[in-house]
A and B are shown apart, each in its own frame.
Chain A
Amino acid sequence: MIRSSLSRSSDRPGRGGGVRGSGRRCARLAAWLGASLLSVAAGAQELGAGVQLHGFASQGAVWTSDHRVGGAKDGSVGLDLRELGANLSWRPDPDWLLSGQVLARWAGDTDDGEPRVDYAYIDRSWRLHEASRVGIRLGKIKNPYGFFNVTRDVAHTRPGVIMPQSIYLDQIRNFVLAAPGIALHGDSDMSFGSLSWQLGALRPQVDDADMEYMFLLGDMPGRFQGTNSWMGQVLVEPDGGRWRLGLSVGELNMRYRAGSPDPLRPGRHTLPTWALSVEHNDEHWSVTGEYAQTTNQARGYGPIMDPNPDNTLEAWYVQATRRFGQDWRAYARYDVLYLDRKDRDGARFAVLTGRPGHTRYARDWVLGMRRDIDRFALWLEYHHVDGTAWLAGIDNPDPQRRKRAWDMVLLQAAWYF
């Protein structure tokens, strides 16, 4: 495994810091929390003149039987799972909306709490007639992908403590999450229900620490750069959302700028993707299922990479949630990821690379419960995973040391306003 200590150190300060530098982080955390609490104490959701302030905070604890997740090592408890965010929005007029959100996120060695702009854009919309609107968004825009991508960092909106990793891979979260660009959007209210859509042109962000582990099989000397891409989604919600149906389609592109020296040549990745989402909502039950495919086409990297044929990642999950009154809910999920749908058990990969086949798939059984107390919520979640495909490469760089079957328990507390 090639590990470069120099690559990208400038654009990811504190990368790989893990527990190191925690004093600086604590100070930053305290400042953030202080600012958030202060604004709430001032009763500041609605600031007047069409301005609103909202925020959220979460803290997780994780225990794993094996591997490193969220700062936890084999058999120990990690507390390196944390999110803090706040957003401001201003509607000066019914047709205009300006909004922006700042986010800090901690997740093992893959995210170090550096505050960043989650989104910031201007939205102008026009009313076509009483029941239809179209608009245009310009700035750093959230990419609609599946039901949950746009708010994946807000604990209350997630289907569990961690996102279903098949479709919402944490390893490439920033890549898919939001990007500078322009998007057209619209929504219509019809007698059968509502329809909304967004279609955007963007340049994806490629600052995930794990991108090279994911797409180049290791940390390489060069760096990725996002190139022209597009993403769109149509969401149909018959009968006020009793059913919800979504189709997300897009193509994300990036090129690789080789370092020197670098065993790879400057190459490019083309990643066409689609996801189908279905949900049924009842008074007590919600059942959600999503299925996605993403094809990984790598070109121009030279003899080391070029023999690799295109492979298609296949991901799906089904989750059933039962609500007990307004404050308790329990859920079960089965979440499946295959990095190559034509080599699901990774056998061919193992022969070609000498790495274990289980690094190419993950089948995750999840059981969880959630308790809501006004704007606070507590979660307890258990995972039994067969496979290691979605483990963070930067936290678990040696594939030979990964264990095929492992368990994980997560606790989370979150608050929002």
Chain B
Amino acid sequence: MRATLLILLLLASGLAHAVEIIAHRGVPEQALTLASARAMFGMRLTQWSDGQAVRVFVLPDRHPTHVAFVKTRLDLYPYQLRQNWDRLVFSGMAQAPIEVADEREMLRRVAATPGAIGYVRKAGSHDQVKSLAIQ
């Protein structure tokens, strides 16, 4: 019984960390609070602590990695994020995140764009991006 619980817990934590938040190596932050991560992906927080512009990259709404990221790392549902973006974009209050087709493009764009933030299933150590923890 205890062993089953342990395995379940390990599985759950494994799932929770399956998607990693990545950023351009030039951003000063090492970690984000959940509130800041939600504000950045919610397109409300537009600059890093050193003043450089945040550039948000996302996968398509139905991409499994996007769904997992929104649910496990932001603790939101994808439809909430979409509603929020549409409300801001079509009232002129903010811009939309930049959508990329797949995780390979995500890694490439985040590595190449100063101020970029995004997410992937697992960023290998060879990738030219930094990984951000959520505190």
Contacts and interface: CB of A to CB of B under 8 A. Distances in A.
A142 interface: yes
A52 B96 contact: yes
Interface residues of A, number: 46
Contacts of B51: 94
B56 to A, nearest CB: 11
A190 B49 CA distance: 17
B89 A54 contact: yes
B133 to A, nearest CB: 16
A196 B39 CA distance: 12
A72 B93 CA distance: 36
Contacts of A323: 79
Contacts of A46: 98
B90 A123 contact: no
Interface residues of B, number: 38
A91 interface: yes
Interface string A127-155: 10011010000000010000000110010
Given A151-B87, A154-B86, A326-B62, A130 B49 contact: yes
Given A52-B95, A54-B96, A189-B39, A93 B53 contact: yes
B91 A142 contact: yes
A127 B47 contact: yes
A151 B95 contact: no
A45 B99 contact: yes
A94 B80 contact: no
Contacts of B92: 87, 89, 97, 99-101, 119-121, 123, 142
A150 B83 CA distance: 13
Contacts of A85: 90
A302 B52 CA distance: 61
Summarize B's interface: helix, strand, loop or mixed: loop
Nearest to A239: B75
Contact of A189 (B36, B47, B53, B99): B36
Interface in A93-130: 93-95, 97, 99-101, 119-121, 123, 125, 127, 130
Nearest to B55: A50
A322 B32 CA distance: 33
Nearest to B44: A187
Contacts of A187: 39, 44
B94 interface: yes
A189 B83 contact: no
A150 B36 contact: no
B91 A151 contact: yes
Contacts of B72: none
A190 B36 CA distance: 9
Contact of B36 (A131, A156, A281): A131
B90 A87 contact: yes
Interface in B74-116: 74-80, 83-84, 86-87, 89-96, 98-99
B93 A123 contact: yes
B35 A190 contact: yes
A313 B34 CA distance: 42
A151 B36 CA distance: 25
A281 B2 CA distance: 34
A94 B54 CA distance: 8
A133 B44 contact: yes
Nearest to A157: B86
Interface of A: 45-46, 50, 52, 54, 56, 85, 87, 89, 91, 93-95, 97, 99-101, 119-121, 123, 125, 127, 130-131, 133, 142, 150-151, 154, 156-157, 187, 189-191, 194, 196, 239-241, 281, 283, 323, 326, 416
7 contacts: A87-B92, A94-B52, A142-B92, A154-B86, A157-B86, A191-B35, A283-B77
Given A125-B46, A194-B39, 12 more contacts: A45-B98, A93-B53, A95-B47, A97-B92, A123-B93, A130-B49, A151-B87, A157-B83, A157-B90, A194-B42, A194-B44, A326-B61
Please list the 10 inter-chain residue pairs (A to B) with the smallest Cβ-Cβ separation, ordered nearest first.
A99-B92, A150-B91, A189-B35, A94-B47, A94-B46, A94-B53, A151-B90, A189-B39, A142-B91, A154-B90
